[in-house]
């Protein structure tokens, strides 16, 4: 199976502290890859490196077989990796379409002037949400008036706007109720149906079992387990995370 993203001997040190100790990982194209581990295992550091927020101390990344170096999260986004953090990084008082097109606004010419094409952005924003099976008609609604699951949909729609082929989701169901969690799980499935690759970071083993095709488990900065999720239940996966052994 071809890899959308490959990591080779990724290391990260903060002074004398080794946060990552040589991680090798192949994230399969069009699949959901879960990364699990206890607090301090190295998950956040690894995601910051993949997302371009930090540079590794050593090692190499390749995206769709091409070597890449990210100097910033924007570099990663332009090259096709979008990261959706737990706080979603949305502007709560701005509208849905303004959030989706933030930093990538569409303009149209009126004589010598360029003005924002608000109508087209609202129309396109509605289309992105419809692709995710989240029908919302009022694109002028402020994000602060939306539910947690709907806000996740807006953040994912922004990734679609950038045509991200790899979407990193950091604890997407944290603090959500049952109904909202179900909505977010369906959003992840929609991304996979579109052929996009999802990297899922979660402490919720039930979510991992429900969504992921493969799982990598980190412990003390090392990858200790990588395997298919098929055949695992949430309890077995939790035991593997805790002990670092299958």
CATH number of residue 193's parent domain: 3.40.50.300
- Average pLDDT value for residue range 192-207: 96
pLDDT value for 1: 65
Q: What is the domain count for the chain? A: 1
- Looking at per-residue pLDDT, the higher value among 174 and 199 belongs to 199
Residues 154-181 have pLDDT tens digits of: 999 999 999 999 999 999 998 889 999 9
Residues 74-93 have pLDDT tens digits of: 999 999 999 999 888 899 99
Q: Is residue 153 part of a domain?
A: no
Give the DSSP letter of residue 96.
H
Q: Is residue 113 part of a domain?
A: no
- Average per-residue pLDDT for the chain: 94
Q: Is residue 157 part of a domain?
A: no
Q: Is residue 50 part of a domain?
A: yes
Q: Is residue 67 part of a domain?
A: yes
Q: Is residue 61 part of a domain?
A: yes
At 138, the pLDDT band (50, 70, 90 cuts) reads: very high
Which residues make Cβ contacts (< 8 Å) with residue 119, sequence separation at least 6? none
pLDDT value for 243: 93
Which residues make Cβ contacts (< 8 Å) with residue 12, sequence separation at least 6? 18, 19, 20, 42, 45, 49, 54, 56, 57
How many Å apart are CA 129 and CA 236, to the nearest integer? 35
DSSP β-ladder status, 222-228 and 214-219: antiparallel
- Threshold 0.95, pTM exceeds: no
């Amino acid at each position: 199976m071809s890899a959308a993203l490959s990591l080779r001997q990724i290391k990260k040190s903060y002074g004398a502290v080794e946060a990552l100790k040589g991680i090798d990982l192949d994230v399969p194209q069009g699949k959901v890859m879960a990364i699990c581990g206890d607090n301090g295992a190295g998950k956040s550091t690894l995601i910051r490196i993949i997302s371009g927020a930090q540079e590794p101390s050593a090692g190499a990344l390749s995206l769709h077989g091409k070597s890449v170096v990210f100097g910033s999260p924007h570099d990663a986004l332009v090259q096709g990796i979008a990261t959706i953090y737990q706080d979603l990084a949305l502007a709560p008082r701005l509208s849905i379409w303004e959030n989706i097109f933030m930093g990538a606004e569409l303009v149209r010419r009126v004589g010598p002037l360029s003005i924002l094409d608000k109508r087209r952005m609202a129309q396109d924003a509605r289309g992105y949400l419809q692709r995710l099976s989240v029908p919302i008609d009022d694109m002028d609604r402020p994000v602060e008036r939306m539910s947690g699951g709907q806000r996740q949909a807006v953040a994912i729609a922004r990734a679609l706007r950038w045509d991200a082929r790899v979407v990193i989701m950091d604890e997407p169901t944290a603090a959500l109720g049952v109904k909202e969690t179900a909505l977010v799980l369906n959003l992840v499935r929609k991304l996979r149906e579109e052929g996009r690759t999802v990297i899922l970071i979660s402490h919720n083993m039930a979510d991992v079992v429900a969504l992921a095709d493969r799982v990598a488990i980190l412990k003390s900065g090392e990858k200790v387990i990588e395997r298919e999720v098929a055949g695992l239940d949430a309890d077995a996966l939790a035991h593997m995370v805790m002990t670092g052994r299958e």
